[in-house]
A = this chain, B = another copy of it.
Amino acid sequence: MIGCGTVGSGVLDLLQRREEDLTRLLGRPIRVVRIVVRNPSKPRHHLASLISSGVEISGEPRRVTRDPGVELVVELAGGRDEPKTWILDAIEHGRDVVTANKATLAFHGAELFAQARAKRRCIYYEASVAAAIPIIEMLSNGLVANQMTSLSAILNGTCNYILTRMEFANLDYSAALAEAQAKGFAEADPTLDVSGGDSAHKLALLAGIVTRSHIPVESIYTEGLERITREDMEFVRQFNYSIKMLAIAKRNDQGSWELRVHPTLIPRSEILAQVRDEFNAVYMKGDAVGPMLIYGKGAGGLPTASSVVADIVRAAKGERGTPNAHMGVTPALVPIERIELRNYIRMTVLDVPGVLGRITSFFGMRHISISSIHQPEARVNQPVPVVLLTHKTSEHVVAEALRDLETARLLTRAPTRIRIEE
């Protein structure tokens, strides 16, 4: 095992709790041989019994990746580029690898999976997406008979926690973020999460399985949730929508895929809108199964460790059913500009006579069809929000209109646009 933080400790805990069961299931025990940590001289009381039973604590990854007594390398160190060299080294030396490292796989997956194929080794990575939820197994095995046609997922617990608190506790973004940080659901530097970057890493992995190919992270359109305000939440609630940070993969009739991560309005009656707090969920459709949803904890030591141990068991059974075999070319992707979506647009205008007419004709001229418009009462000459929902409109048309709005002197502040999915 390389890395022994929250997840690693969870794995050791579960291996111990389930020792008898797993030994009976596999016909042999799972034995931890070595643990590599950054600072091996730091006292680790929770490892005391392992150390006294002969487990070596080392600072040198090669003690694990190259030891002939090691059958399986479990990489739980985190980071992006360094783990790549360990995984490659392990494969090079004939070991299978279990990893929970979405960033490494999303950025170096093409190289790692190709190397695993060449050496007939296997990389197991269930824990890298949505922690406890066995979504990778499900897409790779359970739904193998399906052409998946779409996938809409809540893959980042930090974002979902923030949005839940904004929606139900009326907090603004920064208060919700501060609360998430205090509760351990957000990092001190939350950028990777709130920017959608982490969701994009995970979507790249899931879309890779679904399209049986390699998806570069850079090909996923990604937008963060930092600009959503309490005012947006209030409007959205009024219209019976929720805002969720969704990672979306959709296949069109030509077999091309749109891949995107952004805050999204979804009807409150949708089952995804019921996914609250730090939970994750994946809603998907296949040509045989129709719609399906899976929901569970998307972070945390034990939930993640549950999937790591499942992978260890799979490896011990010699099951090689991962989609690695497919990882090859990138499928045709639909650029974001070519997608048509409904939109929520919130603008702030000076409440002067005729302003609503000027707004609607601004959008009318650009062939953006408005499905509804809302303006609360306000005092004349005071800034007032105007919210409109559009019918399906090409992204490039909306983008152009939003750019034009900035120079049109209609608004007192930059507008907020959030995409809608039904």
Complex: chain B residue closest to A308, CB-CB? B145
Q: Which of B14, B24, B292, B320 contacts A288 (CB 8 A)?
A: B14
A248 CB to closest chain B CB (Å) equals 19
Q: A290-333 interface mask toward B, CB cutoff 8 Å, 1 = contact, 0 = none?
A: 11111111001011011101100110010111000110000000
Q: A125-145 interface mask toward B, CB cutoff 8 Å, 1 = contact, 0 = none?
A: 010000011100110011111
CB within 8 Å for A132 and B290 given contacts A138-B138, A310-B143, A320-B317? yes
* 8 Å CB interface, A241-284 against B: 271, 274
Number of copies: 2
CB within 8 Å for A21 and B212 given contacts A289-B296, A302-B289, A307-B142? yes
Report yes or no: B297 in contact with A133, Cβ–Cβ below 8 A.
no
Report yes or no: B132 in contact with A288, Cβ–Cβ below 8 A.
yes
Question: With a CB–CB cut-off of 8 A, which chain B residues contact A320?
Answer: 317
A299 CB to closest chain B CB (Å) equals 11
A147 CB to closest chain B CB (Å) equals 7
Complex: chain B residue closest to A312, CB-CB? B145
Question: With a CB–CB cut-off of 8 A, which chain B residues contact A134?
Answer: 138, 141-143
Kindly name the residue among A146, A274, A289, A319 whose own CB sees the greatest number of chain B CB atoms within 10 A: A289
Report yes or no: A293 in contact with B296, Cβ–Cβ below 8 A.
yes
Q: Which of B146, B274, B314 contacts A141 (CB 8 A)?
A: B314
Q: Check A25 for interface membership: any CB of B closer than 8 A.
A: yes
A277 CB to closest chain B CB (Å) equals 11
Report yes or no: B274 in contact with A303, Cβ–Cβ below 8 A.
no
Distance between Cα atoms of A126 and B145 in the complex (Å): 13
Q: A97-110 interface mask toward B, CB cutoff 8 Å, 1 = contact, 0 = none?
A: 00000000000000
Distance between Cα atoms of A321 and B319 in the complex (Å): 9
Distance between Cα atoms of A306 and B142 in the complex (Å): 8
Q: Check A335 for interface membership: any CB of B closer than 8 A.
A: no
Q: Which of B10, B291, B310 contacts A144 (CB 8 A)?
A: B310
Question: With a CB–CB cut-off of 8 A, which chain B residues contact A21?
Answer: 212
Q: Check A45 for interface membership: any CB of B closer than 8 A.
A: no
Distance between Cα atoms of A326 and B21 in the complex (Å): 9
Distance between Cα atoms of A14 and B286 in the complex (Å): 12
A37 CB to closest chain B CB (Å) equals 22
* 8 Å CB interface, A397-413 against B: none
Nearest 7 pairs of A and B residues by beta carbon: A134-B142, A145-B309, A292-B296, A132-B289, A288-B306, A293-B295, A288-B302
Q: List 15 A-B contacts (CB under 8 A).
A: A14-B145, A14-B288, A126-B142, A137-B137, A141-B313, A145-B309, A271-B295, A286-B306, A289-B297, A290-B300, A292-B295, A292-B296, A293-B295, A313-B321, A319-B319
Q: Apart from A17-B147, A291-B297, what 7 extra A-B contacts exist at CB < 8 Å?
A: A22-B144, A25-B144, A143-B306, A144-B310, A293-B295, A319-B319, A319-B321
Interface residues, chain A, with chain B CB atoms under 8 Å away: 10, 14, 17-18, 21-22, 24-25, 126, 132-134, 137-138, 141-147, 212, 271, 274, 286-297, 300, 302-303, 305-307, 309-310, 313-314, 317, 319-321, 325-326
